[in-house]
Chains A and B, each alone.
Chain A
Amino acid sequence: MYYMAEKRLLLGDEAVALGALHAGLSGVYAYPGTPSTEITEYIQQSPFARERGVRSRWCTNEKTAMEAALGMSYAGKRALVCMKHVGMNVCADAFVNAAVTGVKGGLVVLAADDPSMHSSQNEQDSRFYGKFAMVPILEPSDQQEAYDMMAQAFALSEQLRLPVLMRLVTRLAHSRAAVQTGEPVAQNALEPDNERTHWVLLPGNARRQYASLVAKQPEIAALAEGAAFNRLQIPKVSDLGVIAAGIAYNYVRESAPAGLPILKVSQYPLPVKQVRELAAHCGRILVVEDGQPFVEEQVRGLLGPEYPVRGRLSGELPRTGELTPDCVAAALGVEGGPAFADAHNLAPRPPQLCQGCGHRDVYTALNQVAAEYPNARIFGDIGCYTLGALPPFRAIDSCVDMGASITMAKGAADAGVYPAIAVIGDSTFTHSGMTGLLDAVNDGSDITVIISDNLTTAMTGGQDSAGTHKFEAICLALGVEREHLHVVVPLPKNMEEITRILREEINYHGVSVIIPQRECMQTLGRKLRQKKQETK
């Protein structure tokens, strides 16, 4: 029954997952991150993936994911790596160098960008990474294309022997539409690469490989120029022409007047010939793209300073935030807008830590003790517990990137800040906190680290956390002293014990680690409901 072509209602993320499975995927490697999480979850829950033995367990971070996927590709099989945009920063070393080694089995790297920062700390545009690494980039405009493109992406990767970057944005990743599925193809056979000179990047080999990557560029460009996903439509003569990248194509079509010339771009490098042809037919070009002005900058360079190119850089579209049908309509000169004004009786309703959550007890204790030290600084990290920045806690002074709590506390302590306290979640600690803790131990830094362990990756919906039940062992192995390592249970009834330990460890001038450990309310609730269901 799996092999019947059929229509299914899928999130963009799910369309990517199913597309990859049907394209003969052998393994998905990922660390959870909104809006990319549902890709891996779909594969983990897919009976088809289970039947085929597709490897899908969560990885410790995006770098381990990328490298493992490269290893699977080396062995001849098709692998997918998924992450949110900022994950590209974590795996950049492996990603950029995978373009230099090249690949064997198809390797697709999927980055889900989050313009408007619905659940992120920046809105960096992953397409720059693709250009930087000199690999093809695919950017689907809708769910059907997301599905269809996966087969193309793997074929392209094997044809060029390069990783292929696919970019989604939140509004595609988390939007549902019907998708027509096709016939699955077989997985690749095990066939490890024998070309050692490709894979051993000693300078002598690396120079040859880099030259070969550069030499592939005309072919990559020609493939984008002729790609079915890129389409130039010039129905009639018009002063205005539009270049619409990825999901922007839908917003343009939503309000574009009939006959508007449009170049739809979903495969890069930018199809330069088509851009020139559009420019030759029109007096000016509006570039509509989600994220940063990646295409707009290139088109400006291509057409020169005399040709009017409009978009996010010129102010026709907002420089920050995701595209909306409204800002695109306005840039096209189409009238519209609200019929009703903003309501009067309205207040913001920010997200908050769940009632009964252990992080709450951690912050209650921390605020109580920190109040006794007027110069205390608390360095936060990325996860649900970042919400400790908001009322009623207002407990943290920073949140920058995965793992930065420990290392920033260390640097601040080096500079003389006391007490310097780090708060980091369990999954973030194994993702990027462990190495920083080793630095602090080796340097004898005067910091107090709190690993708030809720036994899961909670923020993204409760995925397995790589270090569950191993945190004490990890800290001891990194050199944290036994007498300065404590596990507590964050509950109101234990407040006295927790605050006492906090005080003692702040007064100890070295590395101490306190692990408040209690299961996430959400995952606990889910387990209890499942149990109830099963016993019925």
Chain B
Amino acid sequence: MKLDIKLSGVGGQGILSIATVIGEAATAAGLHLKQAEVHGMSQRGGDVQSDMRLSTDGICSDLIPLGQADLIISMEPMEALRYLPYLAPKGAVITSSKPLVNIPNYPDEAALLAELDALPHVVRADIETLAREHAMPKSANMILLGMAAPALSQLLSEEQLRDAIARVFARKGMDIVNANLEAFKLGLETASNR
């Protein structure tokens, strides 16, 4: 059994923290894992992505082939659309619906969301606003991870993900751990209320 995940967003949005938590959970669960990241120049406000491959068997390529990603998890809606050619026919997109506009030619928001909604499996929410309303502005990425948890469940349980959050953020103190666990829970609820 395998899960190929494209993580995407804009430099600085925290997609690598999502990758770290999934990676920690997968390692603890004894799964095989490969995760290719982007470092360097593109981290400065440009598009960033990470290929994460989980499997019960060995993994060959560090990169996900076209048409094989089971999930696209994105902190930004246009950045979710950027990787559509990688999405498997039955793949799902889990994304923030709030555009991050730092370029002059950002597409029309309504058209962009309509294109997103036309895909067969989409879970989207304005996680930035959710995070602000619930006074957890720095945990938007863990809301997104919560929204993705049902789609990860064939390989990683909610419990395993929660444990991983606790371990990954432990050195930052209990307050940070709890804020991230709350955010994760909020994401789960958001996904199930849809």
A254 touches B61 (CB 8 A): yes
Q: Interface size of B by Cβ–Cβ distance < 8 Å?
A: 55
Please provide the chain B residues from 33 to 51 with a CB less than 8 Å away from any CB of chain A in the complex: 33-47, 51
A343 touches B115 (CB 8 A): yes
Q: A342-B85, A345-B111 are in contact. Are A251 and B60 (CB under 8 A)?
A: yes
Does A340 touch B at the CB level, under 8 Å?
yes
Does B112 touch A at the CB level, under 8 Å?
yes
B81 touches A345 (CB 8 A): yes
Q: Chain B residues near A345 (CB, 8 Å)?
A: 78, 81, 107-108, 111-112, 115
Does A9 touch B at the CB level, under 8 Å?
yes
Please provide the chain B residues from 13 to 56 with a CB less than 8 Å away from any CB of chain A in the complex: 23, 27, 32-47, 51
Q: Chain B residues near A344 (CB, 8 Å)?
A: 107, 111, 115
Does A536 touch B at the CB level, under 8 Å?
yes
Q: Chain A residues near B51 (CB, 8 Å)?
A: 175
Q: A345-B107, A349-B47 are in contact. Are A171 and B62 (CB under 8 A)?
A: yes
Does A507 touch B at the CB level, under 8 Å?
no
Interface digits, A332-345 against B, CB 8 Å rule (1 contact, 0 not)? 00001111111111
- On chain A, which size bracket covers the interface? 35 or more
A337 touches B66 (CB 8 A): yes
Does B87 touch A at the CB level, under 8 Å?
yes
Interface digits, B46-77 against A, CB 8 Å rule (1 contact, 0 not)? 11000100000001111111111000000000
Alpha-carbon distance between A34 and B36 when the two chains are bound, in angstroms: 14
Alpha-carbon distance between A157 and B45 when the two chains are bound, in angstroms: 42
Q: Chain A residues near B108 (CB, 8 Å)?
A: 345
Does B82 touch A at the CB level, under 8 Å?
yes
A338 touches B40 (CB 8 A): no
B42 touches A119 (CB 8 A): yes
B78 CB → nearest A CB, Å:
6
Nearest to A38 among chain B residues (CB) is: B39
Does A250 touch B at the CB level, under 8 Å?
yes
Looking at chain A's contact residues, the main secondary structure is loop
Q: Chain B residues near A536 (CB, 8 Å)?
A: 173
Does A494 touch B at the CB level, under 8 Å?
no
* Most B C-beta atoms less than 10 A away, residue of A250, A340, A387: A340
A119 touches B40 (CB 8 A): yes
Alpha-carbon distance between A254 and B37 when the two chains are bound, in angstroms: 19
Does A202 touch B at the CB level, under 8 Å?
no
B88 touches A339 (CB 8 A): yes
A338 touches B46 (CB 8 A): no
Q: Chain B residues near A338 (CB, 8 Å)?
A: 66-67, 84-87
Alpha-carbon distance between A115 and B105 when the two chains are bound, in angstroms: 29
Alpha-carbon distance between A37 and B27 when the two chains are bound, in angstroms: 25
Of the candidate stretches A100-108, A309-317, A321-329, A417-425, the one touching chain B is A321-329
Alpha-carbon distance between A326 and B27 when the two chains are bound, in angstroms: 27
A348 CB → nearest B CB, Å:
8
Nearest to B107 among chain A residues (CB) is: A345
Does A118 touch B at the CB level, under 8 Å?
yes
Alpha-carbon distance between A345 and B32 when the two chains are bound, in angstroms: 35
Alpha-carbon distance between A347 and B105 when the two chains are bound, in angstroms: 7
Alpha-carbon distance between A513 and B51 when the two chains are bound, in angstroms: 45
Q: Chain A residues near B111 (CB, 8 Å)?
A: 344-345
A138 CB → nearest B CB, Å:
19
Does A255 touch B at the CB level, under 8 Å?
yes
A459 touches B62 (CB 8 A): no
Does B137 touch A at the CB level, under 8 Å?
no
Nearest to B42 among chain A residues (CB) is: A351
B149 CB → nearest A CB, Å:
21
Does A308 touch B at the CB level, under 8 Å?
no
Q: Chain A residues near B172 (CB, 8 Å)?
A: 533
Does A350 touch B at the CB level, under 8 Å?
yes
A176 partner, pick from B33, B43, B115, beta carbons under 8 A: B33
Taking A343-B82, A351-B44 as known contacts, 14 extra A-B pairs with beta carbons closer than 8 A to each other, sorted by chain A number, are A34-B40, A35-B40, A176-B33, A177-B62, A254-B61, A324-B63, A324-B65, A329-B65, A336-B65, A344-B115, A350-B103, A351-B45, A352-B45, A352-B102
29 residue pairs from A and B, CB less than 8 Å apart: A37-B39, A171-B36, A174-B38, A174-B39, A175-B35, A176-B34, A176-B37, A178-B27, A251-B61, A251-B63, A254-B60, A254-B65, A255-B65, A324-B65, A325-B65, A336-B66, A337-B67, A338-B67, A340-B85, A345-B78, A345-B111, A346-B82, A349-B10, A349-B45, A351-B11, A351-B46, A354-B44, A391-B104, A461-B39
